[in-house]
Structure 1
Amino acid sequence: MTDEGDRYLITPPPGLLPPAPPSDAPPAHAPAPLHTGTAPVPARGFATPAPGAVFGGPLAAEPARPAVLVLQDGRRLPIVGGLLLGRAPVARDDLGQAVPVPVTDAARSVSKTHALLRAEAGRVLVRDLGSTNGTWIVHADGRVDEVSSTAFSEVPATAHLELGHCPLRIEPGADDAAPHGPVVA
């Protein structure tokens, strides 16, 4: 029979045991002594605070929260850069670095590569890409504007988009600007 008590060690709380006798040799796990011949120097790239500097001032402003595209299937995509929307969108060199986003549409009213949605200076802009059933901005007052294939149009914060017959919602970001109308690309 083995002594199982040696397999499990319990460290007592501080102050329960008497201190260890002093020793001239540093413990085996002690770090190497620090060089104390010169004053410490700040790491390269860091400024030394001025004498009397006050810490705890106001923090930098948070970055603006982007607008969010909400698809019918519940996906929520931040509109950062460009989003290429369609049934099975294919990236094109003339559209920049837009991210292809497949849009589910049971009615099949969404074209393969339908529209380009992008964020620019706190605004959400959309351009139709020659789709069969069009891209529409539906305003809160019921007005409907057809989106051009030659210029970007701004989507106001209170409006939603329709690709063909497929509605898409846009939730405004933290610092979205007021509507400015069509934007020539």
Structure 2
Amino acid sequence: MLPSVKDNSGSHGSPISGKLEGIFFSCNTEFNTGKPPQDSPYGRYRFQLPAEELFSPKTNLYFADFYCMYTAYHYVILVIAPKGSSGDEFCKQRLPALDIGNNRFMTCSEEEDGQLVFHHAQDLILEVIYTDPMDLSLGTVAEISGHQLMSLSTVNAKKDPSCKTCNISVGR
């Protein structure tokens, strides 16, 4: 799977919209099972792969956006870039870096036996952009078992300028 240019959804003036090339992934799981949700706003098919194929100590993590779309749901966009890649260089110049082992959104830590352990926030919708090509043989493609929720789609979604949670200049 090859990277493509990020659309213009999210915050106005985002440094990655229309500029950063990457592959879009959702990082949401059901709270009680840890598995991807049955329903999806992203289409009828889901490409799923182990977290370690994207996120590891060999990658850097960047904060890209925080927004809502006139709903109670808030979205965070993170960028994962292999260290030293062109995507990594792009992000280093434009986005705040996050500590992969200690941040509020998504973490990767290594246990004593070398096994990687992953955690992610459950109180928001987490979207990830991976900046390099992805070998489809590393994952699986399957039809979702639930409904396609187009009402939650973020394709070219615009940020709610009046939200007091995700706008610095409103109500503070």
TM-score with structure 2 length normalisation?
A: 0.24
Which has more radius of gyration?
A: 1
- By relative contact order (CA 8 Å, sep 6+), the higher-ranking structure is 2
Q: Greater share of helix residues, 1 or 2?
A: 2
